[in-house]
Amino acid sequence: DVKVTQSSRYLVKRTGEKVFLECVQDMDHENMFWYRQDPGLGLRLIYFSYDVKMKEKGDIPEGYSVSREKKERFSLILESASTNQTSMYLCASINQGSGNTIYFGEGSWLTVV
Amino acid sequence: GEDVEQSLFLSVREGDSSVINCTYTDSSSTYLYWYKQEPGAGLQLLTYIFSNMDMKQDQRLTVLLNKKDKHLSLRIADTQTGDSAIYFCAERTDYKLSFGAGTTVTVRA
């Protein structure tokens, strides 16, 4: 059973704190993605990665960075959290070469106070 | 996302057909997806279509793809109250996966 695991379901952080959101998949997928989901805005792509140490900016990368040191792990970093980064963060992975299935994590609810 | 656009709201009478539309920008799309999200729940894959297909039917769902116009639609026949949800269109290229903002479908009696 494929799993995409996000390490934290619910977090509350203070403005200015550094925040790490971890995502791990166990199917040797090349492609991994980080989204945030906000009401009325859908899923907006923050960053994606198609291989180890490779990363590409999505539609809203400002205020975020990512790390892909190992194939199975894709981390989203908020260097200095702000209240407008309060959101639900969703990780996803897919197999680059074949297959049509997108695997999602359960989501991480981040509140910045 | 910027690459995928959908209308935000659709209201439909129970028993009628619903048609949700989506436009995308990348002509190198490989797969296009429709997801459903009910309140408080995660994303549920409804159906997908490979980019070399024009149509796909799955029970009450019909997906139409017009590659020339980069237009995707989802038709739900005999819409029921349980179909009330947000519907997301998604476009996949070799490396990127982009979602629309979602269409909120409200089914009225």
B19-28: average pLDDT: 92
Max CA pair span of chain A: 42
Cross-chain residue pair A48–B95, CB shorter than 8 Å: yes
- In this predicted structure, the answer to whether residue B2 has a pLDDT above a threshold of 70 is no
Which DSSP symbol is given to B14?
A: T
Contacts of A6 in chain B (CB under 8 A): none
Please report residues of B whose CB lies closer than 8 A to that of A104: 42-43
From the list A101, A39, A65, A85, the residue with the least C-alpha distance to B48 is A101
**pLDDT score, position B33:** 93
The pLDDT value given to residue A102:
85
CA distance B99 to chain A (A): 6
d(CA A20, CA A28): 22
Helix (H) or strand (E) holding A87: strand A87-94
* Tokens 């459903």 found at: B36
Alpha carbon of B79 to those of A70, B13, B19, B53: distances in Å?
A: 45, 8, 10, 25
Ranges under pLDDT 70 in chain A:
1-2, 96-99
Chain B 15-54, residues with CB within 8 Å of chain A CB atoms? 31, 33, 42-43, 45, 48, 50
Q: How confident is the model at residue B3 (pLDDT cuts 50, 70, 90)?
A: confident
